[in-house]
A and B are shown apart, each in its own frame.
Chain A
Amino acid sequence: AQSVSQHNHHVILSEAASLELGCNYSYGGTVNLFWYVQYPGQHLQLLLKYFSGDPLVKGIKGFEAEFIKSKFSFNLRKPSVQWSDTAEYFCAVIRGSTLGRLYFGRGTQLTVWP
């Protein structure tokens, strides 16, 4: 079935470690790609997005993601995580053929130890 896959269910890191969260999707054609974050007790917030152009996109709080079309991937990275990055991270895709419907990955819980 077509889907959005996040490879890691739970990632545990120490502060200052580097982060990479994987995301793959299986839809062809035009896509809009997103990473959302949900901090404890808060609502989903947009971290970054890719619509077109430069495949390396920068978001808030030092996060970036790279769109690799040939690999159907949109991995999230941060060179040095902080305790405050503890949250759940969701990769999401809008297919160009649908009317704005977001397809979400299962989410990755990131825990950063101080």
Chain B
Amino acid sequence: EPEVTQTPSHQVTQMGQEVILRCVPISNHLYFYWYRQILGQKVEFLVSFYNNEISEKSEIFDDQFSVERPDGSNFTLKIRSTKLEDSAMYFCASSVKLLNNEQYFGPGTRLTVT
């Protein structure tokens, strides 16, 4: 069964550094998403992406964040100048459609900012 994959599984970085989290969505999916879960809190939506553009972003997704689909398979989340409060599990997801369709999640990248 096709899966969403994410790399790395764990990333440790120092405050102020830039990180890039990578995702490979399921190949025939058209919509891509990033979510995050801070320890002990809800899974929160960050951004959705379709046709090489951001479709929707949450209030969390400020200028510090950016997303890109640099080639036909990868979908990346870049966090510029990381802060301590960016420490979280970051999940990538993909789907065929926006509505009436499920999102398939990757295993997550645990980001630790020290």
Contacts and interface: CB of A to CB of B under 8 A. Distances in A.
Contacts, number: 62
Which interface class (under 10, 10 to 19, 20 to 34, 35 or more) fits A? 20 to 34
A102 interface: yes
B100 interface: yes
B47 to A, nearest CB: 9
Given A32-B100, A44-B105, A100 B33 contact: yes
Contacts of B104: 46
Interface residues of B, number: 27
Interface in A48-91: 49, 51-52, 90
Given A43-B107, A43-B108, 13 more contacts: A46-B102, A90-B43, A94-B98, A98-B56, A99-B50, A100-B31, A101-B48, A102-B33, A102-B35, A102-B43, A104-B42, A104-B43, A106-B41
Interface of B: 4, 31, 33, 35, 41-45, 48, 50, 55-56, 58, 91, 93, 95, 98-100, 102-108
30 contacts: A32-B100, A34-B102, A42-B107, A43-B4, A43-B91, A43-B106, A43-B107, A45-B105, A46-B102, A46-B104, A49-B102, A51-B99, A90-B43, A92-B43, A94-B98, A99-B55, A99-B56, A100-B48, A100-B55, A100-B95, A100-B98, A101-B33, A101-B48, A101-B58, A102-B45, A104-B35, A104-B44, A105-B42, A106-B41, A107-B42
